[in-house]
């Protein structure tokens, strides 16, 4: 018999699967039974700890609804100039941490962003991308007519220049520093060094009708409950100390495995993000988030309540984005809030665990163009992935996290190794963090 004690070490151990379980319903049943037993052994019930989380989230949802009623902008806005001058106020920092998302105004000069946008057009047209486009490599995003909305393009000069720029590094370091990156005697990641996670481009033309993208989150799927490292990362949710759960604690998040799938992200990202390459009105099919980092506790505990079938994790399964639905998460969806108006050169960031969606749009005014560039600080997980990124960069291939489309392999004007600066080389693991020099 396990000892009934609030000390985590004395609670019953959890079964874990470091690779995708073969029998998913059985594994779900096993882990749910074990999680309930572990919480019960702490002396509390699942219903009790879920009620604590629900009360907190309810208060935050109400606060966001009230702020919206007052006409306030929900997404915090921080000027790039304040980040560069280390002059972001404590209040602005506190709001960023409360909401888990931020718009960085003037991250790049408008002319720079527009020039990058044109550079991408020249790059794809010059290499006859549209003539050769074979259709979507996955069904995660829709396409616009015969032209894609998401370009599976990774190695344009524009993207790489942005990824390795000083301005990008400053904002990433600022965002990374909102997280606790050292604890339990471990340095979980290096906040000052990014790993240049290569992602795609979105270019949505004027007059587009788009169905948008439903509410979901991206840090993982069943692995969030089933791998040893994630069980440790979410330890406070499962050991009766839910009040101590800290969405900004990187402990145990930066080394463990992920279950494979077309929507997976091998990297640890402190924030997901994109840089705007066009102006976008707030009502033109823009990104929405549920701006409550603590909502992850709700998502992780909700499947343990008695009204969810034993072999169901509220619809979460491998190989698909983690869904957020009216059926299980209606409280959270009340807080779903869109971006304010965005200008070319602004960047947009949201905590990696945060629920997000893209609103539908009819007859879109203007373009909707972004480069996806997250904050993915150097850590064991990102160092591991960087090895495959280096190879993809060298050969112009699609990175391993994405469909194997490889359009750029024969494109002569893609970004070349000789174009890398020190930040680019460090990000790809071609240069040690310190001391500088090869
Ligand atoms: Fe997403």
> DSSP letters of 335-385?
T-EE---B-TT-EEEEETT--EEE--BSS-SS-EEEEE--B-EESHHHHHH
For residue 222, report the distance from its CA to the centre of ligand 1, in Å: 16
User: Do residues 44 and 241 touch, judged by C-beta distance below 8 A?
Assistant: no
Per-residue pLDDT in tens (0 to 9) along the chain, 438 residues: 333 334 445 899 999 999 999 999 999 999 999 999 999 999 999 999 999 999 999 999 999 999 999 999 999 999 999 999 999 999 999 999 999 999 999 999 999 999 999 999 999 999 999 998 888 776 555 544 567 889 999 999 999 999 999 999 999 999 999 999 999 999 999 999 999 999 999 999 999 999 999 999 999 999 999 999 999 999 999 999 999 999 999 999 999 999 988 778 899 999 999 999 999 999 999 999 999 999 999 999 999 999 999 999 999 999 999 999 999 999 999 999 999 999 999 999 999 999 999 999 999 999 999 999 999 999 999 999 999 999 999 999 999 999 999 999 999 999 999 999 999 999 999 987 654 433
Give backbone dihedrals phi and psi of 50, rounded to 5 degrees, phi first.
Answer: -65, -35
Q: What is the pTM of this model?
A: 0.94
User: Do residues 251 and 215 touch, judged by C-beta distance below 8 A?
Assistant: no
Bridge pairing between strands 368-372 and 356-358 = unpaired
For residue 143, report the distance from its CA to the centre of ligand 1, in Å: 16
User: Do residues 280 and 342 touch, judged by C-beta distance below 8 A?
Assistant: yes
User: Do residues 159 and 411 touch, judged by C-beta distance below 8 A?
Assistant: no
Bridge pairing between strands 101-105 and 77-79 = parallel
| Residues at Cβ < 5 Å from ligand 1 ion | 218
For residue 77, report the distance from its CA to the centre of ligand 1, in Å: 21
For residue 211, report the distance from its CA to the centre of ligand 1, in Å: 15
For residue 374, report the distance from its CA to the centre of ligand 1, in Å: 12
> Cα–Cα distance between 134 and 404 in angstroms, integer?
12
For residue 217, report the distance from its CA to the centre of ligand 1, in Å: 6
Query: Which of helix, strand or coil describes residue 274?
Result: strand
Cβ neighbours for 9, distance < 8 A, ≥ 6 positions apart: none
For residue 101, report the distance from its CA to the centre of ligand 1, in Å: 14
For residue 216, report the distance from its CA to the centre of ligand 1, in Å: 6
Cβ neighbours for 236, distance < 8 A, ≥ 6 positions apart: 242, 243, 244, 245, 246
For residue 268, report the distance from its CA to the centre of ligand 1, in Å: 14
For residue 140, report the distance from its CA to the centre of ligand 1, in Å: 9
Q: Quick one: which of 200, 191, 165, 194 has its CA closest to 420?
A: 165
For residue 356, report the distance from its CA to the centre of ligand 1, in Å: 6
For residue 292, report the distance from its CA to the centre of ligand 1, in Å: 16
């Amino acid at each position: 018999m396990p000892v009934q004690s609030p000390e985590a070490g004395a609670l019953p151990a959890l079964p874990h699967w470091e690779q995708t379980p073969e029998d998913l319903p059985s594994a779900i049943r096993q882990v749910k039974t074990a999680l309930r037993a572990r919480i019960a052994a702490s002396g509390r019930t699942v219903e009790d700890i879920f009620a604590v989380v629900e009360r907190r989230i309810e208060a935050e949802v109400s606060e966001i609804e009230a702020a919206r009623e007052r006409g306030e902008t929900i997404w915090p806005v921080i000027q790039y100039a304040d980040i560069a001058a280390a002059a972001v106020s404590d209040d602005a920092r506190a709001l960023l941490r409360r909401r888990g998302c931020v718009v960085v105004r003037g991250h790049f000069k408008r002319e720079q962003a527009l020039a990058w946008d044109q550079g991408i057009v020249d790059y794809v047209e010059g290499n006859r991308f549209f003539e050769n486009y074979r259709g979507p490599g996955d069904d995660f995003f829709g396409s616009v007519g015969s032209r894609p909305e998401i370009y599976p393009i990774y190695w344009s000069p524009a993207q790489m220049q942005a990824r390795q720029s000083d301005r990008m590094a400053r904002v990433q370091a600022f965002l990374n520093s909102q997280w606790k990156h050292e604890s339990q005697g471990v340095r979980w990641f290096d906040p000052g060094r990014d790993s240049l996670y290569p992602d795609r481009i979105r270019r949505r033309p004027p007059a587009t009708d788009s169905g948008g993208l439903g509410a979901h989150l991206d840090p993982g799927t069943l692995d969030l409950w089933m791998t040893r490292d994630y069980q440790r990362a979410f330890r406070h949710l499962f050991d009766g100390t839910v009040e101590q759960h800290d969405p900004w604690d990187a402990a145990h998040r930066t080394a463990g495995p992920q279950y494979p799938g077309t929507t997976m992200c091998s990297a640890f990202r402190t924030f997901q993000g994109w840089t705007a390459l066009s102006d976008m009105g707030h009502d033109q099919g823009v990104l929405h988030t549920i701006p409550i980092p603590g909502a992850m506790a709700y998502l992780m505990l909700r499947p343990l309540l008695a009204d969810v079938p034993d072999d169901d994790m509220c619809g979460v399964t491998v190989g698909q984005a983690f869904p957020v639905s009216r059926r299980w998460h209606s409280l959270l969806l009340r807080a779903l809030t869109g971006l304010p108006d965005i200008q070319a050169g602004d960047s947009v960031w949201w905590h990696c665990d945060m629920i997000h969606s893209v609103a539908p749009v009819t007859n879109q005014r203007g373009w909707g163009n972004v480069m996806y560039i997250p904050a993915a600080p150097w850590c064991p997980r990102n160092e591991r992935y960087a090895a495959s990124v280096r190879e993809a960069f060298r050969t112009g291939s699609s990175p391993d996290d994405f469909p194997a489309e490889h359009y750029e392999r024969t494109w002569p004007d893609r970004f070349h190794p000789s174009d890398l600066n020190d930040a680019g080389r460090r990000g790809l693991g071609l240069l040690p963090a310190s001391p500088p020099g090869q």
